[in-house]
Amino acid sequence: MSIGMNSKHDFGTKLSEVVSPSRPIRSIQHLKGREPELNTIERALFAPGRHVFIYGDRGVGKSSLAATAAYQYQSAEAEPIFVSGSLDDTFKTVVANIANHALGRSRTESVKRQTSLGIEWRGLKWGAGVEISAIDIATQIQSVGDAVELLKQVAIQHSEKPIIVLDEFDTIAEQSERNKFAALLKQLGDQSVNIKFIFTGIGSTLDELLGAHQSAYRQLETVELPRLGWEARREIVVRAAEAFGLSVDDNINWRIAAVSDGYPYYVHLIAEKMLWEAFIDEKIVDTLNSDHYQLGLHAAIQSISAELKKPYELAVSLRDQEFENVVWSTADGDDLFISLVDMYEAYRALVEKRGLNSELDRKKYSEYVRKLKGQSYGEILEQMKNRKGWYLYKEKMLRGYVRMQAEANGIQLAGERVAPRQKMHIPGNARTGYHGSSAPRGVRDSFKEITKA
């Protein structure tokens, strides 16, 4: 109301168009910081027989990148075909789902077309009001060759340039079932079938996702997606605010960039909650300020999924305050990998910030950190192999949630490194996983005043 919109419905509808924490982004207009990856994918899809595999940590935006790239490639007379893997899926069920989704009978979305499509294959006929279950289709797929023949029919019926997004490929439980897709891609290329795949999956290497089938790699353009760079994080918030005629306090925007830890989900979620706070603000709002930020941050923490909350709660609930201080100290700094020495220094600085009268000695602190590897403490950390005294988060996205919890309690975790602004896309450092520049000199000091009020 205070930002010039009288209807909650109108505000909520417009807000859903500019921030998207709960569903993949599908347009270049709203996908920030991924231009190099989009260019790589676009060029790869021009090559006959070439497909794309996007992999990386949970929450870095793989699904959004895949969806946006698919809409760029797909010809205008149809929608891209979206399917997702699951624990009970097999090669056959995924291919059957692709065939059904190609005709618009998705369980999650309806695809509109000007004409009715139909497929006849192996005695099965579906389309134009006739439905065949995915189970019935799957029973007719006895080999990879059968799947190729079915997809050939899908390609003919679907559109001029059909593309399939197979999201969460890693959730297909059996390695042997995932391996069949390697053979599928080869046969699609050998037979010049006019259809493209974009896969997404969580993993640090392609070997984890496709196993030892190295022969499939020549059919795949692999795109490892790092956490989002600083400028892109800030741009998400700026553009969202501008859509409502608002600006953003620059220091607040740096705090959002820092606390999000490079995960687009957190940036979108905090921006969404802040804008709702601005909407209900009784005062006239022209700038998103520290009040909107603090309220929005707390609201964001409350709405984050239980999957991310549970490890943190196991680590700190019903325990002494030192455990929370220790957990916060493990999330200090840019690097995904952090040494016990650096964590302890971060802990000591944190204790000083909180004005506590006592602190753990190095030995006791080490004991607490080791407990964070245990199941009863949420399995937050794991020790790096062949590198004594170095740790990383078992679920890397959890680090951002820990940073948000510290921030909500008035502790701004440090560690932003000064780096020159970069105009070109530079591959992320192997340790940090970031692209682009870090926070500029002096910003960290200015953070300290933001939440004192």
Q: What is the pLDDT along the chain (453 residues), one digit of tens a residue?
A: 456 566 899 999 999 988 988 777 777 778 899 999 999 999 999 999 999 999 998 889 999 999 999 999 999 989 999 999 999 999 999 999 998 888 764 333 333 443 445 676 765 666 655 556 666 788 889 999 999 999 998 998 899 999 999 999 999 988 889 889 988 999 999 999 999 999 999 876 666 666 655 566 678 899 999 999 999 999 999 999 999 999 999 999 999 999 999 999 999 999 999 999 999 999 999 999 999 999 999 999 999 888 888 999 999 988 888 899 999 999 998 788 899 999 999 999 999 988 888 899 999 999 999 999 999 999 999 999 888 999 999 999 999 999 999 999 999 886 444 333 333 333 333 333 444 444 544 444 444 444 444
Instruction: Write out the residue range of the structural domain in which residue 192 sits.
Output: 34-225
55 and 183 both lie in a single domain:
yes
Q: Is residue 73 part of a domain?
A: yes
354 and 219 both lie in a single domain:
no
* C-alpha torsion angle, residues 140, 146, 150, 156 (rounded to 10): -150
Q: Is residue 448 part of a domain?
A: no
341 and 208 both lie in a single domain:
no
Q: What is the CATH number of the domain that holds 69?
A: 3.40.50.300
Q: Is residue 120 part of a domain?
A: yes
* pLDDT (0 to 100) of residue 308: 84
Which helix H or strand E contains 118, and what residues bound it?
A: strand 118-121
Q: Is 153 exposed, middle or buried (0-12, 13-18, 19+ CB in 10 A)?
A: middle
* pLDDT (0 to 100) of residue 433: 42
Q: Read off the tokens for 183.
A: 């053979």
Q: Is residue 240 part of a domain?
A: no
Helices 290-303, 264-280: inter-axial angle, 10-degree rounding: 120
Q: Is residue 288 part of a domain?
A: no
185 and 319 both lie in a single domain:
no
Tell me the backbone φ, ψ of residue 163, rounded to 5 degrees. -140, 140
Residue linked to tokens 């220091």: 251
Q: Is residue 126 part of a domain?
A: yes
Q: Is residue 427 part of a domain?
A: no
311 and 221 both lie in a single domain:
no
121 and 215 both lie in a single domain:
yes
Q: What is the CATH number of the domain that holds 324?
A: 1.10.10
170 and 51 both lie in a single domain:
yes
Q: Long-range contact list for 25-28, CB < 8 A, 24+ apart?
A: 25/61, 25/64, 25/67, 25/68, 26/64, 26/67, 26/68, 26/71, 27/68, 27/71, 28/68, 28/72
Q: Which ranges of 356-426 does DSSP label H, i.e. alpha helix?
A: 362-371, 398-408
* pLDDT (0 to 100) of residue 106: 36
Domain final position from 160, 192, 225 = 225
316 and 212 both lie in a single domain:
no
**Distance between CA 15 and CA 28 in Å, rounded?**
17
Determine contact, residues 428/417, Cβ cutoff 8 Å: no
Q: Is residue 294 part of a domain?
A: no
328 and 206 both lie in a single domain:
no
**Distance between CA 193 and CA 200 in Å, rounded?**
21
Nearest-CA neighbor of 226 among 437, 10, 54, 417? Answer: 54
364 and 215 both lie in a single domain:
no
Domain final position from 187, 202, 225 = 225
Nearest-CA neighbor of 446 among 251, 278, 223? Answer: 251
Q: Give the count of domains, the chain.
A: 2
Domain final position from 177, 195, 225 = 225
pTM of the predicted structure, to 2 decimals:
0.83
